[in-house]
Amino acid sequence: MKNKIKVALIQQRNTADLALNFRKSITEIKNAANRGSKLIVLQELHQSLYFCQTQDVNAFDLAQTIPGPITDELSELAKSLNIVIVASLFEKRATGLYHNTAVVLDTDGTIAGKYRKMHIPDDPGFYEKFYFTPGDLGFEPIKTSIGKLGVLICWDQWFPEAARLMAMAGAEILIYPTAIGWDPKDAQSEQQRQLDAWMISQRAHAIANGIPVISCNRVGFEPDLTCHTNGIEFWGNSFITGPQGELLAHANETDENTLITELDMKRSESIRRIWPYLRDRRIDHYDDLLKIYRD
């Protein structure tokens, strides 16, 4: 990876109009590239509304193959702009077999690799187990022309094991396309605690592994069309940190925003020399991590 690289994320408000959502993403990708960004990250399931609020078999019509129409267009865009794009798709692997997948398009337009979401939530308003089979590609960084990217997705961001395994495999940046928000009926104090926990958790991954983090969330209210819940107010707050968890760029909770910042990748080397967490890991005493719980 180059010593310095300009990166961007696109925090977007989505509608039921798939074409409009995608055109908006394309426009912001071009704007970010014109401002010098070499790596551009889109939010989780960026083409559509967050359909996992309900369990609806018709939503499977949103799934696409990889390669497919979306990746074909993004590939051409990546090649024409000489950039790397991280996109998040509802992948149709086979009839009846679907994944929540991030795909990385390299500067030459090729698919550098993909990551299938490993941790799948199943909560009111987040019925992802109905749609997605857990990933089977493991925690493997994706090699690109600008470096090795540790791509994870949303619920994965709460698990330190996932971040650690990516870092141990050589990831130089952790990237989290995300769709997370509040239940509107929650008290403001509870909403603040949830947001703080979300940011602290990911900033801690940067600190514990000595590498930057890019976290890209959506923004805006999306209703539950079945009226079983109060819908979700996606809280935005997308951010980019350095290897000590320091905030380099931070969006607000209400507006669409394209965040751009320059990462000094030499800092990761410096920080890891001062804070050698990888050196001091006691792997000879970590066997119990392979258990679900110590009874």
The strand pairing partners of 239, in sequence order, are: 215, 250
**Domain-embedded: residue 176:** yes
DSSP 133: P
Question: Interhelix angle for 18-34 vs 69-81, to 10°?
Answer: 20
The strand pairing partners of 261, in sequence order, are: 7
**Domain-embedded: residue 105:** yes
pLDDT of residue 9: 98
pLDDT of residue 153: 98
Q: Quote the percentage of the chain above a pLDDT of 90.
A: 96
Cβ-Cβ contacts under 8 Å for 10 (sequence gap 6 or more): 25, 28, 29, 32, 40, 41, 42, 43, 46, 216, 258
Q: How far is CA 120 from the centre of its chain?
A: 14
Kindly write down the DSSP assignment for every residue of 157-190, as one continuous string: GG-HHHHHHHHHTT-SEEEEE---EE-TTS-HHH
The position carrying tokens 């819908």 is: 231
What range defines the domain where residue 35 resides?
Answer: 4-290
Side-chain-side CA neighbours of 55 within 13 Å: the count stands at 8
Taking only the tens place, the pLDDT of each residue in 8-36 is 999 999 999 999 999 999 999 999 999 99
**Domain-embedded: residue 295:** no
Q: What is the CATH number of the domain that holds 204?
A: 3.60.110.10
pLDDT band of 229, cuts 50, 70, 90: confident
Catalytic residue selected from 6, 24, 28, 44:
44
Taking only the tens place, the pLDDT of each residue in 262-286 is 999 999 999 999 999 999 999 999 9
Q: Cβ(44)–Cβ(218) under 8 Å?
A: yes
Mark whether 262 is an active-site residue. no
Angle (CA) 8 269 41, round 5°: 15
49 vs 12: CA distance, rounded Å: 11
244, 247, 248, 251 alpha-carbon torsion, rounded to 10°: 150
Q: Cβ(152)–Cβ(166) under 8 Å?
A: yes
Question: Interhelix angle for 160-168 vs 188-209, to 10°?
Answer: 20
pLDDT of residue 143: 98
Taking only the tens place, the pLDDT of each residue in 98-149 is 999 999 999 999 999 999 999 999 999 999 999 999 999 999 999 999 999 9
Q: Cβ(61)–Cβ(29) under 8 Å?
A: no
Taking only the tens place, the pLDDT of each residue in 33-43 is 999 999 999 99
**Domain-embedded: residue 36:** yes
pLDDT above 80 (res 1) = no
**How many domains does the structure of the chain reveal?**
1
pLDDT of residue 26: 98
Catalytic residue selected from 24, 38, 92, 117:
117
Widest Cα–Cα separation across the chain: 56
pLDDT above 90 (res 2) = no
Mark whether 44 is an active-site residue. yes
pLDDT of residue 227: 81
pLDDT above 80 (res 292) = yes
pLDDT of residue 215: 98
pLDDT of residue 260: 98
Mark whether 233 is an active-site residue. no
Catalytic residue selected from 154, 216, 222, 253:
154
